[in-house]
Every structure is written in C-alpha cells, then in structure tokens.
Amino acid sequence: MKLYDSKLAPNPRRVRMFMAEKGIECETAQVDIIQGENLSDDFLAINPRGVLPTLVLDDGTVLDESVAICRYLEEIQPQPALMGTDPVSKAHIEARQRHMEFDGLMGAAEAFRNSFPGFANRGLPGNAGAVDAVPELVERGKNTVQRFYERLDQALAQSEFVAGDAFTIADITALCTVDFAAGAARVPIPDDCENLKRWHAAVSARTSAAA
C-alpha cells in the first residue's frame, strides 16, 4: 500500500502517528498542499477529492479521510488496540475522537485557512474550486480553540488520557489538533491549563509523536 502524505498538515500526521503506534510501514509520497500539488491533475487522478491523507491499497482501492484509514489499519492489525475493544469502549473512544475534531481541529483549521495568504482563494479544503477565504472567521476559529482547550483541560483532570486510562486515537487527534492550533493557527495552550500541559508533555514524548 502507498500513503499520500503531507508533513505540513495535521490530518496526515494523525495517520502517521496511528501507523507508528501499530508498527505499520508502507511506501509514502509527499504532496505539497501549500503549493497546490493536491490539486494537480496527477493527484486528482488518484483522488478526485484532492484531500490528504490518501491511502492506496495493493489492489488499487483508494481510501481517504483520516479516521477511515485508521479504521482499516485497526482491522488489519488489531493490536495494540487504539479504537476500543468492546462495544462501549469503541463508542466512547469514537465520541471522544470526534469531540477533538469538531470542538478543536475544525476551529484551528478555520483560523488558519482564513488567515494564511496562500489560501486566499482556497477557503475550503480539497478540490472545492475557488472559494475566497473569510477573514472574519479567523477570530471565531481562535475562540473555538480557546474553548476547546478549556474543556479538554477539565476532562484531563479526571483521566490520564483523552478517552480514559489508555492511549487511543482520540489522543492522536487531540495532539495533532493542539500542535496545529498552537503553531499554524497561533493559539497557544493557556498557562492555566495545567492538566492539558501535563497530558501534552506525556503524549509528545511518545515515539509516534515524531512520525
């Protein structure tokens, strides 16, 4: 299989971390989102949606969307389990993973995509055509991230990891969200979020975080 990747974006990093935790390796190809390589004819012939990451299986099947790719990897290599082991844990981890996406990553992406000059006419991800950025959405995105930090800090006061006592895909999404928000979106972790800082230091020290 072959992973079309971008070192600059948070969603491909989620898959790289998931693969690293599983010990899965495959051929990779870097696609420069900033330069619009994901919108080139060559890449659109692989994935007409123009999104990353994209995983092409040995039989030619094309998978996109980070969690869908991770679900495939979880199914072919169940251990270590990163998406739950029974109906309740699977549902809880899925919910927490989606909280990280909807409550945090979407706000960080909104703040970045609507402020980065290179995306002035690429206000929506992938092959969406020319869509103007909306500068007024930057502040809303940053406020969303601030609220995300506060809620995550409160949750981490009750558990070691995002979805409980074990490291899961929810932690992967959360770490990629926090790092993207603090870096590209310029919304650092607030000083008073001590639980979040504790968790961030711990998961950042994992080998997979450097993937």
Q: 149 and 196 in contact (C-beta within 8 Å)?
A: yes
Band of residue 61 on the pLDDT scale cut at 50, 70, 90 = very high
Best CA proximity match to 162, nearest among 142, 183, 148: 148
For the chain, percent of residues with pLDDT exceeding 90? 100
For the chain, percent of residues with pLDDT exceeding 70? 100
Residues 6+ apart with CB under 8 A from 57: 1, 63
The rounded distance, in Å, linking the Cα atoms of 171 and 16 is 13
Q: Which residue range(s) make up the domain with 168?
A: 87-210
Q: Report the domain count for the chain.
A: 2
CATH of the domain at 98: 1.20.1050.10
Same domain, residue pair 16 and 45: yes
Q: Would residue 68 count as lying in a domain?
A: yes
CATH of the domain at 28: 3.40.30.10
Q: 50 and 38 in contact (C-beta within 8 Å)?
A: yes
pLDDT at 164 (0 to 100): 97
Q: 83 and 94 in contact (C-beta within 8 Å)?
A: yes
Same domain, residue pair 63 and 150: no
118 secondary structure, DSSP code: G
* Final residue in a domain of this structure, among 19, 41, 76: 76
Band of residue 171 on the pLDDT scale cut at 50, 70, 90 = very high
pLDDT at 200 (0 to 100): 98
* Final residue in a domain of this structure, among 47, 76, 105: 76
pTM above 0.95, yes or no: yes
